[in-house]
Structure 1
Amino acid sequence: MISIPLKKKLIITDNGLPRFPDGTVLFKTFLQAGIKIETRVLLKTTAAWETGTYILDDAQHRRPS
C-alpha cells in the first residue's frame, strides 16, 4: 500500500521512475498460509527513507524485534 500526503503529488521523472513527496508511507505485509507474519514500513522524509519492520506472533500481535 502507498499513502501519499494530502495535496501532494507523485512525480514520474523523465527516466520513468517515481519521485515520492516527503511524508509518503509505503507498507508491505507478508503472509504465510494466509496469516500475517511481517509488515515492513518505509517513510519518506526530507533526508532519506526511514524503515521499520513489525514481526507478528501466532496470535497476530506485534512481537518485539
Structure 2
Amino acid sequence: MALSVVAAARWALQFPKTALLASRLFLDTRVSPLLKLAAALAAVVIVSPVDLFGDVPLLGPVDDVALL
C-alpha cells in the first residue's frame, strides 16, 4: 500500500518528535533496562534484512506482524 503525499508529509513532520521521545525514554533511569533491551531488540529485528524465524512453521509469517 503506497503512502499518499499527505500521509508521507505527516509522517515526516512527526518523526523528529518520535525520535526525541525515544531517545529521552532510553536515557530515563525510571524506565526498566529490560524494556529498553526489548525495544532495542525489536527495532533491530524489524530493520534487519535477515529473517530469523522465516523457516519455522506458523512463526515465520507471524513474527513480523507481532513486532509492529
TM-score, normalised relative to structure 1 = 0.19
Flag the structure with higher strand content: 1
Give 1 or 2 for the bigger CA radius of gyration: 2
Identify which of structures 1 and 2 has the higher relative contact order when contacts are C-alpha pairs closer than 8 Å and 6+ apart.
1
TM-score, normalised relative to structure 2 = 0.18
Flag the structure with higher helix content: 2
